[in-house]
Amino acid sequence: MKKKYQYSVEIAGSCNFRCPSCPVGNMDNRQKAKGLMDFKLFKDIIDKISIEKPSDNTVVSVFDWGEPTLHPELPRFIEYINSKGLISRVSSNLNTNADLSRIIKAAPDQFKISLSGTQKETYETTHKNGNLYLLKSNINRLKYLKDKFSSKTEFIFGFHVYKNNLYRDFNELKDLAKELDFKFEPIVAKLMPIEKVMAYLLQKGIIGKEYLQGIKTTITSKDFELIKLLIFSPEADHKKWISFADSVRNSLTGFCKKRELKTSIAVDGSVPLCCGTFENQFKVSKNFLDETTENLHKKRLKNPFCKTCMELGLHLDLARSRVIDYSFSERPFSKSIRRIASELIGRPSS
C-alpha cells in the first residue's frame, strides 16, 4: 500500500479566470472537454476509487484544470467523497459567487485558496479576470463560516510567488493567515503545462523539434510577459538540470510522482497522462471507469512522452531549493532575504 495517493477529479472543466501561467489562460482553444461533471459519473468514479483505494491516505481533489466552485453541486460531491472515507480537497480562486456556506457545511478536509497578491496590480496581473475586492470579501466570509460552524476544514492560502509579490504581498498575506488561523503555503509559481514549457525551450533553441512529439501550442508575447515575472524561468530550470552530474540526473529519472502517486480524471471521465499535461494527444484512456488500475498504470508507463519529459527534468520541481525554503520560512533574516531579492529582481511596492 502506498503512503499517500491522490486522484484529481475535474468536476468543472472551465474557469472564470485566464491566469497566464495556466493552460486555461495561456492556450487558446481548450482542447479537452469543457462543462460540468454530472453527479452520476462522479459517483461511479468515486465508487471505483473507494474500491481501488491504493492508500489509507487516499485524497480526492475536485479539480485538475478548472474552477470547482463553478459547479453548483460541489457540496454534494464533497459529502460523497467524505462518506466513502476518502480525503476531500478543494482548491479555488475564490472569485465566484458560490454558496460558500453550503460548501463549508459539507466539510471538505482541505480548502485551498489560490492567490498571488494583496495588491490590485499584482493580483490581477497573474490571476487574470480576478477581482481583489471579491477575493477579500470571500476570504472574510470563509473566516466567518469557519468560526460559525466550528469547521474542522484545513484552510490554506496557496500563495503563488512571483518576482513582483515577493515582499509586501507575501508579508501581508502571511500576517493575514495568522490572524485568520489559515495555513500559509507559498509556492514558486511556474509556467504550465509541460507542453508550454517545451514550446518555450524550442523557441529559445534549447531543444530541437524532435522533442515536441506533436505538441501544438506555441509561445506568444503574453507567455514572454509571464515568464519575465517568474522567479525561475524554464531556461533557468533547464540550466540547473543539466548542471547536475550524470549520476544525479540518472537517479532522478525513471520515477515520477505525478505518474506513481497521482491520477487525473478529466471532466468527461477521460484520463490524461498526468496532471502536468493538457493537450488531447496525451490522453491515455477515454474512460477511467473502463480501466483496471494495472492496465491504466501500464498505459501511462508505456507513454513515450514521459521519456522526453524526464530527459529534460520537467517531471521535477526544480524551483525548490534550500535558499527558497529558507526565505519562505519564519527563520531569522528570511524576511530580509526576500526584501533584498525583491529589490534586486522584483518591483517592490513598499
Ligand X SMILES: C[S@@+](CC[C@H](N)C(=O)[O-])C[C@H]1O[C@@H](n2cnc3c(N)ncnc32)[C@H](O)[C@@H]1O
Residue from the set 5, 7, 42, 63 that interacts with ligand X by CB under 6 A? 63
> Considering CB distances under 5 to 8 angstroms, the limit depending on partner class, which of ligand X, ligand SF4, none binds residue 274?
ligand SF4
Q: How far is the CB of 281 from ligand SF4 (least distance, A)?
A: 12
**Is 115 within 8 Å of 135 (Cβ atoms)?**
yes
* Smallest distance from ligand SF4 to CB 261, Å: 10
Of 121-180, binders to ligand SF4 (CB under 6 A) are: none
Could you count the other beta carbons within 10 Å of the beta carbon of residue 118? 21
The amino acid occupying position 127 is H
Q: Which lies closer to ligand SF4 via its Cβ, residue 307 or residue 331?
A: 307
Check binding of 64 to ligand SF4 (CB under 6 A).
no
Could you say which of 8, 10, 13, 17 contacts ligand SF4 (CB under 6 A)?
A: 17
Q: Which does 273 bind (CB under 5 to 8 A by kind): ligand X, ligand SF4, none?
A: ligand SF4
Scan for cell 537517479, then name that residue: 251
**Side-chain half-sphere exposure of 255, counting CA atoms within 13 A:** 5
Window contacting ligand SF4 (CB under 6 A); options: 3-11, 32-40, 63-71, 334-342 = 63-71
Side chain identity, residue 292:
T
Distances (CA, A) of 122 to 130, 185, 295: 11, 18, 45
Residues in the chain: 350
Q: What track of x and - describes contact with ligand SF4 for positions 250 through 279 (by CB under 6 A)?
A: ------x-xx-------------xx-xx--
93 forms part of the interface with ligand X (CB under 6 A): yes
Residues 34 and 137 sit within 8 Å (Cβ to Cβ)? no
Strands (E), the chain: 5-9, 58-61, 87-92, 110-115, 154-161, 183-188, 262-265, 271-272, 283-285
As measured in angstroms, the least distance from the Cβ of 161 to ligand X is: 9
Would you call 219 helix, strand, or coil by DSSP? coil
- The C-alpha cell that represents 21 in the structure block: 501561467
Find out whether 32 and 281 touch, Cβ atoms under 8 Å: no
Find which of ligand X, ligand SF4, none residue 259 binds, CB within 5 to 8 Å per kind: ligand SF4
In contact, 36 and 10? CB cutoff 8 Å = no
Q: Which of 93, 138, 264, 342 binds ligand SF4 (CB under 6 A)?
A: 93
Q: Which residues bind ligand X (CB under 6 A)?
A: 15, 19, 21-22, 63, 65, 67, 91-93, 112, 114, 158, 160, 187, 189-190, 192
Task: List residues near ligand SF4 by CB under 6 A.
Answer: 15, 17-19, 22, 24-25, 65-67, 93, 114, 194, 256, 258-259, 273-274, 276-277, 305-306, 309-310, 314-315
